[in-house]
Structure 1
Amino acid sequence: MVSKKKKKYSSGEGAQFMTRKAALKKLQLSLKDFRRICILKGIYPREPRNRKRAQQGAGGIKTLYHTKDIKFLLHEPIIWKLRDLKVYQQKIRKARAMRQYGQMRKFLRDYPEINIDHIVKERYPTFVDALRDLDDCLTLCFLFSTFPSLKRVPRDQSMLCRRLTVEFMHAVIAAKALRKVFVSVKGYYYQAEIEGQTITWIVPHHFSFQPQNKDEVDFKIMSTFVEFYTMMLGFVNFKLYHSLNLVYPPKLTAAFSSSSEKDLIDERAYVAERIAAMNMSLARVAGSNEAEELPEIDIFNTEDEDPQKLEDAKLEAEKVKKLKTMFKGLKFFINREVPREPLVFLIRCFGGEVSWDRNMFVGATFDETDESINYQIVDRPSMDKQFLSRYYVQPQWVFDSVNTRTLLPINKYLMGAVLPPHLSPFVDKTKDQVYIPPEQRALNDPEFKPQNDEASDEDIEEASDEDKEDIENNSDEEGAEEALTRQYQEEVAEESSSEEEVAGDEDMEKKKLAKEKKKAMAVTAGVTHKEHPYQKEIEDKQAFRLREKLVRKKHRNLYKSMKAGQEARKKEIWLLRKKRRLHDEKVKEDKKSEKRKQKIQALEAAMA
């Protein structure tokens, strides 16, 4: 019996993937609806191993999806809702064209709504799964909470983002879950630890909204992501509030209700109401107490029996315990020139009380004349009226104190003082190739001297003019990058050539010694052998190259990619050190020129 010939691409990679055009045909959806359903369900294009087989012999580069993902979408009930929406849109367009406005209003009133509750529960079966995927959700919701009413963004969406983000910040305050904060050009980076999961998000600075062109930002796609994220964040907030014995939804100010119109027009009023809402204490469930503190860590024997890990974990737990009550019993007053929202959030997270000028903003709890105020946060060089019972510090003191987990000395942060660098706490200590600024090294090691790591004064003076031109005069980013790459390669080549010269010198010395031994065969007094300082390093490198040749063929590409990553990180560290060296050189030159000017002015004054 002759067996039936197997059809090409009926199995293997040809059957595992499906093009977007074929997916649209199978689901009977438009491209807009297909994008929406994929975003909501978390389905995204895949990259095959062999593109030609996956595309069934077709050329070019096409968008491919897993066939099983598209079949999974066939059973999604939202697809039927999307088809109902399409029917209602056609009815509304027809009624508008026929000028049947009563019928059109009826269709708009009965317009079907899509409920995506089941998708959230399907994608995140447990609460911990939702917390792991909360970073992008919070960043996008905080971004949309700053948007005004836009053409392609539903009006209620920004309002909902505002309410949900403030609710989440209240939950972080009540749980005392904040761990790190960093101020950058993009905004404020926050990191919290909730139920053992580390969550990092960005809150943008509050600037006036600049309209963007349609080609630059696709607000419709972003709005679809926000549609899912708001539902997800609502579930997370509900679970957080109930785990903290808080009433949900909390009673916030009137600006967060959908009936309020002024916040959609006046950005300043919205920000003031948002900060006032954060300074409120939330209502607790009747008959419940505050959330219990976590018990102390029990010491168990680990598999590798490393006592250092247990000590580190215990030390970290002690630091976190002190951090949660760092500002407890302290009162802060914020001047009107200081950005209030991040400071109110930080101070409230760690048990402090905070207020501001009640004549300028709503929500103040005590006045500036209160004698019990411990710290007043100012961002100006001087003040006419000062109280002796409090310290006047700059805002960076609060951020740096949180990152170091202790109240720092205020002498470097006093009013009008030149502030120390604001160092990022988001440093991965597990990586060996990381650039550490000299200020951070000085904090880690008190005996460290910055001039040992960076270039000394003599090295700075000997820096070539080509180095300066590569960094300063290259305004074009690509040209500057090429120049820096070329310079980096030259330095690496110089190092390798110097090693080869040392090896060549070593060979010459060996030949001379051999000739001398042949000439003088008589017994003579022995000479102490001096080891070359770079001999061991050269031998280690030669042995390392021999070990590299032993790497198996199937692991060779992986090894090459690892080496390429190490080289890229090495280049990045070299570039950062070079920029820092040139910056220090520029600061030094500015100081010299300033001293020169002062001397000239003093001489002119003496002569006059």
Structure 2
Amino acid sequence: MGRPKKKGTSGAATAYIHRTKAIKKLQISLKDFRRLCILKGIYPVEPRHRKVVGHGNQAPRTYYFVKDIQFLLHEPLINKFREFKHFMRRLKRAYGTKNMNSASRIRRNRPKYKLDHIVKERYPTFIDAIRDMDDCLSMVFLFSVFPKTKETDTRFIQLCRRLSVEFMHFVIASKSLRKVFISIKGIYYQAELFGQVVNWVLPHSTGFAHPTDVDYKVMKTFVEFYTTLLGFVNFKCYSSLNLHYPPKLLLDSPEEEVVEEPKVKQRGKKRKNEEKLKKLKERERKFVEKESVEDRLAALSQTLQVKGTGGPEEEVDIDEFPASETDDPERVELAKQEQEKLEKFQNLFKGLKFFLNREVPRETLVFIIRSFGGEVSWHSTHAVGSSYPETDEKITHQIVDRPTMANTYLSRYYVQPQWVFDSVNARMLLPVKDYFMGETLPPHLSPFVVEQEGEYVPPEKQALVNRQRGIEEEEEDSDIEDEEEEEAEGGEESGSVVEDSSEEEDDSEESDEDSDDEQSEETGPPAKKKKADSKKKSKKELNMSVEAGTVEVENTHKRHQQKTAEERRLAEMMIPKKKKRLYNKIMHSRKKNAQEARVLKEKRVAIDKEKKKEKKKQKLT
């Protein structure tokens, strides 16, 4: 028998550490500790027994795992944080003594650090990084549309803008965009990268006021890490498509060599001033060229160069390998069909030329149209990067967001921007008649919502599913029949009155004849009664007939339903008592969902009826 363990020396009491103790152990400030935890991906934890972990103290504290804090002890960034603290102390002293030469020298020697090793630690493989791209992309796209203010650093805004444009170019080149949805928060995108589904949101480009209840220092720390991560991902993605990184446009002209003029011997200050002017002009020229390249890259309308050839990316034919004997032929055939559907979806807008008006969201529409193989342009005065004018006769669709236009062309469709989004989500080109200028648009359904069995499905979504399955004609025929029935209601009512009156006359005649017969039978002599009875018997004999026997057809569907219901009832009886309660909860939730779906359906039917009545009233008036 060993000695009993002392209380608080093992178990949960030694597995956790509160924040104050962790800061003292690492010997850094609270600000640096928060920053370090964000960069390393270490977050607070909630212990099961606070009293045991706090050694009897139940005060609200922030706890971390002891192993995580020990892991931070060997982080090289801690030394960089201490160097930066020393740097700031020296800089303040120089400014305090008004020694500007010393201050400029100290600023030039500002300590720098990289986060490459942290990215490699947190994401050992490239697929791990792709799986964690949702928050990264959302934060980078958010900072890319921020205005330049005191709260947000200009360096981060420019860096996020560049990285987001590079990522969008890769999505266009790889044709990996799958879903798009417009909401109040922004525009949601879904892409499939290397077999992984990635979602992100791009805020609307509207006037923005920074909220006061947000800690922008924490957001900057996240962005600092995410920009490093996205830089790695962009480089790997471009390498997979054999594209230049940083990206180079296909229409970029080679850099012109600057021909140096023969030097002329000059004296004194005049020569120095001319050299300074030349240098300034050269810097301005390079800066203008850089800005123009960045603007043309951000336009997203041009293709990128491939390494080696310098031309556009070529479509590579996938090798087909013969299926082995072990492979299921049905699965192989299904895989081929899915691949054909995907290729057709990726080239949804191929062969179509779009022109964008000034009032539509240009960048979003260019990104979507080019991701599915379409060509797009806009007014040259609106932005850089337009490829053809509005007068081009090959334009098939012009995206407009206004009720009317002064000049129109008969060779193209004028549709509203929602047509592009809905066509992508439907994976097919929808009819343009519902999206013409001035038309009331159909509801914009979210492609991210998947209705389960028993849930309410809006009629618009059901109609879309039917159209995708190829049963659109039946729906149109049924709608035409309904309209014909509604139109024929008035005529049927007038005709039914005549038919009813004639039927009533016939019935009255028959009833009169019957009443006369009955009166004659009651009041007449017995001989007449016998004659009446014989007449009735002859009528009955005439109505009798013999028919050939038929084989009774068994309703197999009904029998199958009865059989499955009986099997279900027996299976419910065999459920153990422990799991019976869970089963009842599941069935209760299903019934509740079915009831909610029924209520929504009834509401929708009532709304549709009211709309039909209003339309009829408008037609009559």
User: TM-score, normalised on structure 2?
Assistant: 0.71
C-alpha distance in structure 2 between counterparts of 1:148 and 1:134, whole Å: 24
| Structure 2 counterpart of 1:483 | none
What is the one-letter code of the residue matched to 2:380?
R
Query: Relative to 1, partners in 2 of residues 1:74 and 1:318: Cα closer, same or farther, differing over 3 Å?
Result: same
| Structure 2 counterpart of 1:218 | 215
| Structure 2 counterpart of 1:369 | 391
C-alpha distance in structure 1 between counterparts of 2:398 and 2:207, whole Å: 28
| Structure 1 counterpart of 2:228 | 231
SS in 1 for 2:355: strand
| Structure 2 counterpart of 1:437 | 458
| Structure 2 counterpart of 1:336 | 358
Instruction: Report how far residue 405 of structure 1 moved.
Output: 2.1
C-alpha distance in structure 2 between counterparts of 1:170 and 1:11, whole Å: 55
What is the one-letter code of the residue matched to 1:236?
V
Tell whether the 8 Å contact from 1:245 to 1:290 is kept in structure 2 after alignment: no
Instruction: Report how far residue 357 of structure 1 moved.
Output: 1.4
Tell whether the 8 Å contact from 1:130 to 1:236 is kept in structure 2 after alignment: yes
| Structure 1 counterpart of 2:519 | none
Report the structure number with the largest CA radius of gyration: 2
What is the one-letter code of the residue matched to 2:38?
I
C-alpha distance in structure 2 between counterparts of 1:99 and 1:576, whole Å: 74
Tell whether the 8 Å contact from 1:275 to 1:344 is kept in structure 2 after alignment: no
Query: Relative to 1, partners in 2 of residues 1:111 and 1:302: Cα closer, same or farther, differing over 3 Å?
Result: farther
| Structure 2 counterpart of 1:501 | none
C-alpha distance in structure 1 between counterparts of 2:353 and 2:612, whole Å: 39
What is the one-letter code of the residue matched to 2:578?
L
SS in 2 for 1:84: helix
| Structure 1 counterpart of 2:540 | none
| Structure 1 counterpart of 2:416 | 394
Instruction: Report how far residue 150 of structure 1 moved.
Output: 3.1
Q: Give per-residue Cα distances to partners, 1:551-574, cap 9 Å, x unaligned.
A: 3xxxx9xx85x9878867876776
The CA RMSD measured in Å over matched residues stands at: 3.8
| Structure 2 counterpart of 1:148 | 147
SS in 2 for 1:52: helix
What is the one-letter code of the residue matched to 1:418?
T
C-alpha distance in structure 1 between counterparts of 2:105 and 2:593, whole Å: 62
Instruction: Report how far residue 421 of structure 1 moved.
Output: 2.1
Instruction: Report how far residue 412 of structure 1 moved.
Output: 2.4
Q: 1:547 aligns with which of 575, 599, 606?
A: 575
The correspondence of residues 347-426 of structure 1 with structure 2, limited to 5 A, is 347-426=369-448
C-alpha distance in structure 2 between counterparts of 1:358 and 1:332, whole Å: 14
The correspondence of residues 130-529 of structure 1 with structure 2, limited to 5 A, is 130-213=129-212, 215=213, 217-251=214-248, 273=295, 277-287=299-309, 290=314, 292-295=316-319, 312-428=334-450, 432=453, 435-445=456-466, 446=471
Query: Relative to 1, partners in 2 of residues 1:49 and 1:310: Cα closer, same or farther, differing over 3 Å?
Result: farther
C-alpha distance in structure 1 between counterparts of 2:410 and 2:165, whole Å: 36
Query: Does 584-593 or 370-379 show the bigger shift?
Result: 584-593
Instruction: Report how far residue 549 of structure 1 moved.
Output: 1.6
What is the one-letter code of the residue matched to 1:192?
A
Q: Give per-residue Cα distances to partners, 1:342-399, cap 9 Å, x unaligned.
A: 1111111122111111233322111111111111112223323221222222222212
SS in 2 for 1:550: helix
What is the one-letter code of the residue matched to 1:283?
Q
Tell whether the 8 Å contact from 1:135 to 1:201 is kept in structure 2 after alignment: yes
C-alpha distance in structure 2 between counterparts of 1:50 and 1:167, whole Å: 48
Tell whether the 8 Å contact from 2:454 to 2:593 is kept in structure 1 after alignment: no
SS in 2 for 1:443: helix
| Structure 2 counterpart of 1:121 | 120
Q: Give per-residue Cα distances to partners, 1:183-213, cap 9 Å, x unaligned.
A: 2222111111121111111111111111211
Q: Give per-residue Cα distances to partners, 1:139-167, cap 9 Å, x unaligned.
A: 11000001112334322001100000000
Q: Give per-residue Cα distances to partners, 1:443-474, cap 9 Å, x unaligned.
A: 33459999xxxxxxxxxxxxxxxxxxxxxxxx
Instruction: Report how far residue 41 of structure 1 moved.
Output: 0.7
C-alpha distance in structure 1 between counterparts of 2:60 and 2:170, whole Å: 46
| Structure 2 counterpart of 1:524 | none
What is the one-letter code of the residue matched to 2:462?
R
Tell whether the 8 Å contact from 2:360 to 2:400 is kept in structure 1 after alignment: yes
| Structure 2 counterpart of 1:25 | 24
What is the one-letter code of the residue matched to 2:377?
S
Query: Does 92-101 or 539-548 show the bigger shift?
Result: 539-548
SS in 1 for 2:575: helix
Tell whether the 8 Å contact from 2:296 to 2:384 is kept in structure 1 after alignment: no
| Structure 1 counterpart of 2:37 | 38
C-alpha distance in structure 2 between counterparts of 1:580 and 1:277, whole Å: 45
Instruction: Report how far residue 222 of structure 1 moved.
Output: 0.9
C-alpha distance in structure 2 between counterparts of 1:369 and 1:248, whole Å: 36
Structure 1: runs of 5+ lacking an equivalent: 264-268, 451-532, 603-608
SS in 1 for 2:209: coil
C-alpha distance in structure 2 between counterparts of 1:149 and 1:569, whole Å: 51
C-alpha distance in structure 1 between counterparts of 2:415 and 2:195, whole Å: 34
Structure 2: runs of 5+ lacking an equivalent: 253-282, 477-560
Instruction: Report how far residue 10 of structure 1 moved.
Output: 2.2
Q: Give per-residue Cα distances to partners, 1:461-500, cap 9 Å, x unaligned.
A: xxxxxxxxxxxxxxxxxxxxxxxxxxxxxxxxxxxxxxxx
C-alpha distance in structure 1 between counterparts of 2:13 and 2:439, whole Å: 67
Tell whether the 8 Å contact from 2:379 to 2:390 is kept in structure 1 after alignment: yes
Query: Does 585-594 or 6-15 show the bigger shift?
Result: 585-594
C-alpha distance in structure 1 between counterparts of 2:216 and 2:594, whole Å: 37
| Structure 1 counterpart of 2:110 | 111
What is the one-letter code of the residue matched to 2:401?
D
Instruction: Report how far residue 596 of structure 1 moved.
Output: 4.9
Instruction: Report how far residue 112 of structure 1 moved.
Output: 0.6
What is the one-letter code of the residue matched to 2:575?
R
C-alpha distance in structure 1 between counterparts of 2:341 and 2:611, whole Å: 41
